[in-house]
Structure 1
Amino acid sequence: MKRFIWNYKASILIVAGIILFCSFHEVVGRNTVLNATHFSLEVFKIFPAILVLMGLIDVWIPESFIENNLGNAAGMKGPIISLLLGSFASGPLFASFPLALTLLKKGGRLQNVVIFIGAWSTIKIPMILMESSFLNLRFSLLRLTITIPFIVLIGFVMEKLIDLDFLENKDGYR
C-alpha cells in the first residue's frame, strides 16, 4: 500500500485538492471535475490508436531505418525528416510522446526526437492553413521562418543538456 501511495502521490494530491476545493467552492469544483472527466475521456478515445501505431512502428519499421534517417547516422537529413514527420502528424500533443519514446527506443537521436515533438506542437500543416486564413499567409510564413530555427536549436540544446545514459538507466527506454 505504501508503494502504491508513493507511486501515485501526485494523482492522490490532485484528487485530494479537488475534493477539498469542492467543499469550499461547489460550482468551481463541479466544473473542475467535469473538465477532468471530459479530458480523460478524450485521452481514452485516442490512446488505443496511439498504442496500435506504436506497435506497428515497432514491428514494421526496422531499427536500421530509424538509425539511418533519425539517428546519429542521419546527419542533416535527420532534422528535416523530423520536421516533416511532426508537421504532417495529426492529433493532440500528448499523442506525440509515446511515439517519441518509440523513436528513441529504435535508435533515434534525441535532437531529432525533440524536433519531431516541436514540429508536432507548432507546425502542423492544417494549423498553418487555418492560421493563414485568419491572420493572412504573410504572418504564417513569418511565424514559420522564426519557429523552425528555434525548434532545431532547442533540439540541439536538449541533446547537449540531457544525459541519455541517465535516462537509459533510470527508465530503461532502450
Structure 2
Amino acid sequence: MKTAIRKYWFLFIIVLCKGIVWLYDPQIGKTTLAFSRKNVINFLFILTPVFVCIGLMDVWVEREKMIRIMGADSGIKGIVVALLSGMITAVPLYALLPVAGVLLKKGSRVSNVLIFLCASASIRIPLLFFEISSLGAPFTLIKFGLNLLVVFAIAFIIEKLLSDQDKKAIYDNADKL
C-alpha cells in the first residue's frame, strides 16, 4: 500500500481534493466528477488508436529499415521524414510521446525524434491552414519559417549537448518499452 501511495501520490491528492469539494458543495462535486469522467473517456479514445498504431509500427517496421529512414546516417532524408511526420499529426502531444519512444527503440536519431516532436507541437498543417485563413499568409509564412529555425535549433543543440553516455541511456530506456 505504501508503494502505491508513493507511486500515485498525485492521484490520491486529486481524489482527496475532489472528496473535500464534494462534501463542501455536492453540486460542484458532481460537476467536477462529470468533467473528470468526460476527460478520461476522451483520453482513452485518443490513446487507444495511437497505441494500436504504435504496436503495428513496432511489429511491422523492421529496425534496419527505420535506421535507414531516420537513423544516424539518414541525413537530410531523415530530417524531412521527421518534419513531415510531425506536421501531419493531429493528436495531442502526450499521445506522441509513446511514438517517440518507439522511434528511439527502432534506432532513429535523437535529433530526428526531437524534430518530430517539436514539429508536432508547433507546425501542424491544419494549424497552418487555420492561421492563413485567420491571420493571413504573410504572418503564417513568417511564423512557419521562424518555427522551422527554432525546431531545428532545439533538435540539433540538444543532440550536441548530449554525451555519448546520455544517448546510450536514452536508447537503453527506449529498448525497455
TM-score, with length taken from structure 1: 0.86
1: CA distance between counterparts of 2:8 and 2:30? 23
Residue identity in the other structure for 2:96: S
1:14 aligns to what?
14
Q: List gaps (5 residues or longer) in structure 2.
A: none
1:122 aligns to what?
122
Q: 1:71 to 1:27 in 2, by over 3 A?
A: farther
Return the offset for 1:158: 2.8
1: CA distance between counterparts of 2:27 and 2:139? 40
Residue identity in the other structure for 1:13: I
Matching of residues 12-161 of structure 1 within 5 Å:
12-24=12-24, 30-159=30-159, 160-161=161-162
Q: List gaps (5 residues or longer) in structure 1.
A: none
2: CA distance between counterparts of 1:62 and 1:103? 11
1: CA distance between counterparts of 2:79 and 2:57? 19
Q: 1:169 to 1:54 in 2, by over 3 A?
A: closer
1:2 aligns to what?
2
Return the offset for 1:167: 4.0
Given the alignment of the two structures, is residue 173 of structure 1 paired with residue 170 of structure 2, yes or no?
no
* Identity in percent: 29
2: CA distance between counterparts of 1:170 and 1:104? 9
> CA-to-partner distance for each residue in 1:132-168, whole Å, 9 max, x for gaps?
1011111111110000110111112333248234445
TM-score, with length taken from structure 2: 0.85
2: CA distance between counterparts of 1:158 and 1:28? 45
Q: Confirm or deny: 8 A CA contact 1:22 1:28 kept in the other structure.
A: yes
Q: 1:31 to 1:171 in 2, by over 3 A?
A: farther
2: CA distance between counterparts of 1:110 and 1:25? 49
Residue identity in the other structure for 1:173: K
1: CA distance between counterparts of 2:116 and 2:76? 14
The farther-off stretch of 75-84 and 20-29 is: 20-29
Q: 1:29 to 1:137 in 2, by over 3 A?
A: farther
> CA-to-partner distance for each residue in 1:104-150, whole Å, 9 max, x for gaps?
11011121111101111111111111111011111111110000110
The farther-off stretch of 71-80 and 49-58 is: 71-80
Q: What is the count of residue pairs matched by the alignment?
A: 174
The farther-off stretch of 8-17 and 25-34 is: 25-34
RMSD: 2.3
